[in-house]
Each structure stands twice: as C-alpha cells, then as structure tokens.
Chain A
Amino acid sequence: MKILVAVKQVAALDEDFEFRDDELDVDEDFLLYDLNEWDDFSLEEAMRIKEASEGEVEVVVVSVGPDRVDESLRKCLAKGADRAIRVWDDAMEGSDSITVGRILAAVAKKEAPDMIFAGVQSSDQANASTGISTAAHLDWPHAAVVAGLEYSPGASKAVVRRELEGGTLQEVEVATPSVLTIQLGINKPRYASLRGIKQAAAKPIEEMSLGDIGLTPADVGADVALSRVRRMYVPPKGRAAMIEGTVAEQAAKIIAIIKEYKGE
C-alpha cells in the first residue's frame, strides 16, 4: 500500500519586494521559500492513514523543482514520510500546472501508488489545477477540495466530503486509485521539530530526471505551456471612500463625484 503526496515549494514575498527586470516575475532576492500550506494538510492526511493502519503503508512525497526544493522535502521526511522524490531537469523551467500534472502522472506510473494526495492549490500561483491534471493524465477518478476523508488502505472506495460554496459539504464516493486534492483544515498538521528536520537530512532524497520518467524535453517547459505570463505588476491602488451623511447628502455627493468624472 502506497500513498503518493505531491507537494510544492512555494514562494512568499518579502517586505518591499521588487520585480525582475523583464517584469515577468518577482526578483528572486525577495522570495522566501517554504512548503505550500495545503501540503502540510495532505501529508498529514497520508500520515494519519499510515499510522492508523495495521498493514504496511508507505508515504512517498514527490515534488517538481530545483535543488532548493530539497529543504521542503526534508521537512516532509521529518514529519514521517518514508521516501522523498524530486523531479527536475532544466528543461522543466517554465512548465505550467498542466505540464507539472503530466510530470507527476509519469512519476505515479513508475511508483504505482494506491492513492495520490495533492493540495487544493498552491499559495503562490493558485491555479488549483495541478492535482486534477495529474488525475487527467492518469485517467484516474478524482475529487477536489476534500475536507473530510474516510479511507482504509486497500479499500476499493473512499468516501470523501467535498467543500462547496456557502459551507455546504458534498459526500462523494470515489473509486480507488484516485487523486484527491486536500483542503486546509481537514486535520491538524503536526509540527516538524528542528531536530527532526536535521535528522531527516541524513535520509536520501531520490532524484529523477526526465529520462527516468519516460519524458523528453519536448514534453515539458515553457514551449508546451498553454499559457504564459505577459507581465507581473502591482495594480495601482483603487480609490474608495465611504460617503457619510443623510441619504440626501449622500446623493448630492455622488452627483458631485459623477460630474467631476465627466469633467463638468
């Protein structure tokens, strides 16, 4: 029994950041990297299944990204993941989330897990599509925004509660193997103590290249991306003002503002 947990190292903005000269992204100097918040929850969910199970359950974390991602994978190992895999090739630079899903699916084919967990979305890009696209590439069933899960290893079905709008939940049965994207709050993620992280440094992180997962540079990267970034910028601050006073006064003020805009 194996659960594959797809994780991402996300970037957060430091104070007073600046954009790169090409205006396509934030200057690397101003980015702080950490494990995506959602991934804490999906890893925890996998760990819970592992710990509650009588039989052997292997939790494998996988991430697509350069060397720096090792740090986040170590954190996952410190929390108890059995193995960590990092897939990278310089050709992958600029891949969109659909392509990342394709890479993850290729890893999944190699690893043959019984379940794949991913976060609902990443906090930096917020596409919320990587997990689902992995399922699509594998042609597996999937459920998104999972806020509750009943699943015992080896079962042919899982019962999931999906979070919908307005606080409603939808209970769904999914056949396994499947891909679930896990929502915040489904559990209480554990703390990875620094000693644990340090000790995890001794555990190996398996590296996979394009060849290892049966893809070629032509399958990945910016060229096959279905979208591309044109510009990244801080929008000008909008102007909003609360208009106070009686209804008549408010109406008068609004008329004045409209007139001003029309240039009267």
Chain B
Amino acid sequence: MSSQKQPSMQLTPEIGAQQVELLARLCNAMAVSGDEQEVRQIVLDEIQPYCDQVEVDGLGNVLAMHVGSQAQKVRVMIAAHMDEVGFMLTNDEGEGVFSFETVGGIDPRQLVGKAVIVGREHVPAVIGAKPIHLTTAEERKKALKVEELRIDLGPEGSSKAKVGDRATFATQLEALEPSIRAKALDNRLGVINLIELLRHAPENIDLLAAFTVQEEVGLRGARVAAYRFDPQIGMAIDATPAHDLPAYDVDVENTRYNTKLDHGPAIYLMDGATISDRRLAEWLMQTAEAEGIPYQIRQPNPGGTDAGAIHRARAGVPSISVSVPVRYAHSAASLIRQEDWANTLKLVYHALTRLTPEILS
C-alpha cells in the first residue's frame, strides 16, 4: 500500500531512551519461528509513516520500501529476522502439563527451571524438573533431554493453551548501563536497527527492508523476500554469539570466541551459509575507518544468516552480514553492550549513505 510518507529524518540515527523502550517491547514480545504476529504488528506500527510501500507477503515477511530521491540509486535489500528460537507444545498430558519440542537451535541443558510464557496470551508457565531434594548425585551429573522435560501451566492454565502453541522464555528486558539483558536480542536488535534505518533512510539508495520470518529454522522467509525484491545488494543485520569470557582465556589463548563484546559491529567474511562479497566487506571496513567506528571481523565459523538465502536468489546477489555481538545467544537471557548496538546501527547507516553503483563494477 502507498501512504503519506513523512520525510525521513536527516540526522544520524542514535540510540536513546526511546530506542531502548522500543527494544524492550520487541524483546518481550513472542515471535517463535512460524508465528511472528506479535513482532510483525509492532514493526508495522513503527515503520508505516516512513515507507513508500509496505506489504506483508505470503509467508508473513514485512516487506517495506523506501525509494530514494536521488538518481543513480542502488537497490539494497536489508533483512532482519523477526523470529526467535523457542518451543512448541506437542502433547497435552492434562492438568496444564505439556510435552514440547524446541524450535530452532536451543541447548536442552539450559532449559531446566526456566520461567516461560505460552501462546498469544503469554500464559505464565515453567519448565519443571525434579527438585534437588529428590535427585541423587548420579542423576545430577546427567543433562536432561527435552523428552524428559515438561512445560507446566498449572491446572488454571490448561484451558488457555493447546498443542501447537508456541512458548518462549519469560525474561523481561533490563537495561543495565552499559549493557542490556533480554531474551531474543537475536534478532530484535536487527529488527530495531532496520526500523531506525527506515526512519533515517538515505536518499541515495532504494532501501528494501525485509523483516523476515523463519530464519531460525532455515532462512526460509528471506528466501522468498529476496525473490520478491530482486535486489542488487543484500545485507543481513543480525546478532552473533560472543564467547569471550575471561575464563576461557586462562591457560591457553582463546582462539574460538566468534566475536567479543565491546569490539563493535561484527562484519562477516564467511559463515556456513554465505561467503561474503569482498567488495562489500571492504566497503564496510572503509566506512568504519572513515567514520571512526570500531568494528571486528566475526571469526569465520559455521552458522548462517539471511544472507545465505539472499545471495542465492534469482541470478545471484552480492551479499554480506553485520551483527551485534551477543553473549549467551539462544538462551533465556542474553547480554549485549549498548555501545556495540549503537555502533552497528551507525556503521550500516553510514555505509549506506556512502554507497554508489560503482561498488558493483
């Protein structure tokens, strides 16, 4: 649909109280892969005034376009996945007790004793296990499997949930200068950054913003979004693990940290799904150096982002990813530095403003 577009804000996007409040709403919302409605609604409400066109496609991606006013524009697709890892109820065992399976990559060892919320009503529940009073020393040595765990809503909750409902961690966002702790920072950080980019859309590009679904289960939303947009350049903005605790550095040098907190946005050269286009990597690094923005190269590792789907769309799209480093990703509580978030937004914004068609020649 077309709308009465407001002129995009001229100033460089920044992170302030308003952004932290929006991030809190985004992180506290539930959008387990396949049912992203709650986050999608927030996104639609936030971006509507700043776009030339907004649609929700057949899979539930939000596809928003901001057409730049200058001539000689590059069509840039930026994707941020809206979905998060979580759970799906699989069997009603009565009294509000449900067996469940995980959706996306979750380590079952991190589940025991966690408070969760179930369904669109956010019914409170808990992933229970036998308490320490009753377990033997032998039992405590073994990690429980998902099949041995249950989501317990209590009898009062049983009528409010059904098989097929999603559940996620109940963690509420806490802003603890200089950090933020929340669930689903992977990838509500990308979502909020993409919202901010639309609000401050540079006029030298056509910004094709895809808030994608089902990334955590295999980059599915981005695949059809990229087909639809048919962009000249693709970029995924996401969150990536930081495994940089001092404890891992004690005896021998930590050689496998992926990224480090406080080292700025993480630029990808290769992951399990994409080999980044080197021209785009150079462009990002040059931007960071010119603007004095710290950055790090994400250690080439397995894993994947929406870029993995975008670069293979149609006849091919040079693509890259940039992520905010996140400790404890895909768990009940992950941790970031506000500085890393702000610098990631800054880097992508400035890079876009410097973009010319020559980059592809």
A and B are interacting partners: no
